C-alpha cells in the first residue's frame, strides 16, 4: 500500500524536514504520496511534484488553510487516510502539533519521534531524553509516525514527475484566530540542517556576548544554537534552543561554548558527528561526550579561534 507524507512548508518552499521524512517513508514502500495543505500553493505544488521518489502529490488549496491550524488541517488529511498503510509527518513543532489530532480522529496510537525503521511495523525511538532506545511494534490498520528529521538523509528534490490530485476541503468550525508569527530572520543556515552548529550557554553571560558566537558562526557558515538556560535568560530566541524540549540537531560539527552538558541538552546534539566543547570547568559533563575538549575561558578562546580560522583562510587563498 502507499504511504502518505504530510508536507511541512513555509508557503514558498518545502522544508528540508519533509525531504528527510520522505526518505524515512522509502524504507517502507516505493509508493509515496505527499499531501500539501495551504493557501495559494500552486507554485509550491509544482516544485514538489519533481521530488524524485514521489508518485503523487495531493493538494488542498483553501484560504482557511493559510495558517495551517491543526484543528482545520487534521480532518482534511484524515479524509484521505483510508488509502494508506502509513501516514508520516516530521517530528517538528509542525508535525507534533498536527499528527496527534489525526491519531484522535482515526483512533490509532501514534509512534513519536522515530529514528530508525526496522520494517513496516517495527520502529525505533528514543525515550527518556535519548538515554534509552525503545523498539516498538504496532499492528494497527494505519501506522502514524512522526519522524526525527536528523535521523534520515534528505531525499533528492528533483528529477521526478509526480501526478497532482486535488483533495476536497473538509469544513471544520474553529474558534481560533491566527494573529501572527514572530519569525527571526537570519542569513545563516537553518539550525535543523546546518553542517556546522555553534551553540552558546549560560557561560555567554548576556545577549551582547552572543555576538562573539555569531562572528564565529559566520566564519564557519554555521547555524547558531543555544542551551535552554541561555534562552531562558533572554540571551537569544527560543527557536535556537537545542535539546529534549527544543530542537534536535546532528551536524558534522557541533561546537558547545559555555554549556555544561546537562542530559536534556545532550538529547538534542549527541548524534552530531564531531563535538567540540569549550568550557572553563574541567569537570563539566559536556567533556564526557566531546571529541575535542578545550578547557579555557571562552572569552579568550573564541577570538583566538576566529583569528586561527582567518589565518587558515589566508593560507588557502
Partner 1 sequence: MKVLVAVKRVVDYKVQIRVKSDNSGVETQNVKMSVNPPDENAIEEAVKLKEQGIATETIAISIGDDKCQDVLRTSMAMGIDRSILVKSPNTLEPLAVAKTLKKIIEKEKPDLVLMGKQAIDDDSNQTGQILSALINWPQGCFVSDLKIEGQKVLISREIDEGIENLETALPAVLTCDLRLNTPRFASLPNIMKAKKKPLESIEIDSLDVDTEAKIKVLKVVEPPKRKAGIMVKDVKELVQKLKNEAKVI
Ligand X SMILES: Cc1cc2nc3c(=O)[nH]c(=O)nc-3n(C[C@H](O)[C@H](O)[C@H](O)COP(=O)(O)OP(=O)(O)OC[C@H]3O[C@@H](n4cnc5c(N)ncnc54)[C@H](O)[C@@H]3O)c2cc1C
- The residues of the shown chain that bind ligand X, judged by CB under 6 A, are 201-203, 227-230, 241-246, 258-260, 262, 264-265, 268, 279-281, 284, 297-299
By a kind-dependent CB cut-off of 5 to 8 A, residue 135 interacts, out of ligand X, partner 1, none, with partner 1
User: With contact defined as beta carbons under 8 Å apart, do 277 and 294 qualify?
Assistant: yes
Kindly tell me which residue out of 113, 213, 226, 227 binds partner 1, with binding defined by CB under 8 A: 113
Query: Which residues in the 45-74 window bind partner 1 by CB under 8 A?
Result: 70-71, 74
By a kind-dependent CB cut-off of 5 to 8 A, residue 284 interacts, out of ligand X, partner 1, none, with ligand X
Element (H, E) at 216: helix 210-220
User: CB of residue 200 vs ligand X: minimum separation in angstroms?
Assistant: 8
Classify the C-alpha dihedral 217-218-220-223 as positive or negative: positive
Can residue 148 be called a binding residue for partner 1 (CB under 8 A)?
Answer: no
DSSP one-letter code for 262: -
User: CB of residue 108 vs ligand X: minimum separation in angstroms?
Assistant: 28
Label the pairing between strands 54-61 and 2-6: unpaired
Please identify, using beta-carbon distances, which residue of 3 and 248 lies nearer to partner 1: 248
Neighbours of 288 (CB within 10 A): 11
Can residue 170 be called a binding residue for partner 1 (CB under 8 A)?
Answer: no
Distance between CA atoms of 271 and 285, rounded to whole angstroms?
16
Q: Look up residue 94 and give its three cell numbers.
A: 509542525
Distance between CA atoms of 270 and 288, rounded to whole angstroms?
11
By a kind-dependent CB cut-off of 5 to 8 A, residue 52 interacts, out of ligand X, partner 1, none, with none
Please identify, using beta-carbon distances, which residue of 32 and 256 lies nearer to ligand X: 256
Binding string, 12-51, against partner 1, x = CB under 8 A? ----------------------------------------
Find residue 166's DSSP bridge partners. 59
By a kind-dependent CB cut-off of 5 to 8 A, residue 189 interacts, out of ligand X, partner 1, none, with none
Distance between CA atoms of 199 and 183, rounded to whole angstroms?
19
Kindly tell me which residue out of 83, 161, 274, 297 binds partner 1, with binding defined by CB under 8 A: 274
Can residue 301 be called a binding residue for partner 1 (CB under 8 A)?
Answer: yes
User: CB of residue 249 vs ligand X: minimum separation in angstroms?
Assistant: 11
Label the pairing between strands 223-226 and 196-200: parallel
DSSP one-letter code for 169: P
Distance between CA atoms of 187 and 183, rounded to whole angstroms?
13
Amino acid at each position: 500500500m502507499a504511504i502518505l507524507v504530510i508536507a511541512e512548508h513555509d508557503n514558498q518552499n518545502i522544508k528540508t524536514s519533509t525531504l528527510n521524512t520522505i526518505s524515512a517513508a522509502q524504507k517502507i514502500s516505493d509508493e509515496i504520496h505527499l499531501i500539501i495543505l495551504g493557501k495559494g500553493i500552486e507554485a509550491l505544488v509544482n516544485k514538489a511534484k519533481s521530488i524524485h521518489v514521489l508518485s503523487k502529490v495531493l493538494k488542498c488549496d483553501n484560504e482557511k488553510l493559510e495558517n495551517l491550524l491543526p484543528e482545520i488541517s487534521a480532518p482534511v488529511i484524515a479524509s484521505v487516510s483510508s488509502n494508506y498503510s502509513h501516514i508520516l509527518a516530521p517530528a517538528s513543532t509542525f508535525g507534533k502539533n498536527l499528527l496527534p489530532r489525526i491519531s484522535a480522529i482515526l483512533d490509532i496510537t501514534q509512534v513519536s519521534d522515530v529514528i530508525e525503521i526496522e520494517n513496516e511495523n517495527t520502529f525505533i525511538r528514543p525515550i527518556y531524553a535519548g538515554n534509552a532506545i525503545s523498539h516498538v511494534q504496532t499492528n494497527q490498520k494505519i501506522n502514524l509516525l512522526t519522524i526525527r528529521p536528523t535521523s534520515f538523509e534528505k531525499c533528492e528534490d528533483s528529477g521526478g514527475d509526480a501526478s497532482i490530485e486535488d483533495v476536497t476541503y473538509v469544513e471544520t468550525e474553529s474558534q481560533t484566530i491566527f494573529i501572527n508569527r514572530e519569525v527571526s530572520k537570519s542569513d545563516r543556515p537553518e539550525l535543523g540542517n546546518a553542517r556546522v552548529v555553534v551553540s552558546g550557554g549560560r557561560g555567554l553571560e548576556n545577549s551582547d556576548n552572543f555576538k562573539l558566537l555569531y562572528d564565529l558562526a559566520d566564519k564557519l557558515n554555521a547555524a547558531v544554537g543555544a542551551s535552554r538556560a541561555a534562552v531562558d535568560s533572554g540571551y537569544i530566541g527560543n527557536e535556537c534552543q537545542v535539546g529534549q524540549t527544543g530542537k534536535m540537531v546532528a551536524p558534522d560539527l557541533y561546537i558547545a561554548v559555555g554549556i555544561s552538558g546537562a542530559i536534556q541538552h545532550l538529547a538534542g546534539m549527541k548524534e552530531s558527528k564531531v563535538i567540540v566543547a569549550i568550557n572553563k570547568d574541567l569537570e563539566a559533563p559536556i567533556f564526557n561526550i566531546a571529541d575535542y575538549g578545550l578547557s579555557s575561558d571562552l572569552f579568550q578562546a573564541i577570538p583566538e579561534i576566529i583569528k586561527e580560522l582567518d589565518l587558515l583562510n589566508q593560507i588557502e587563498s
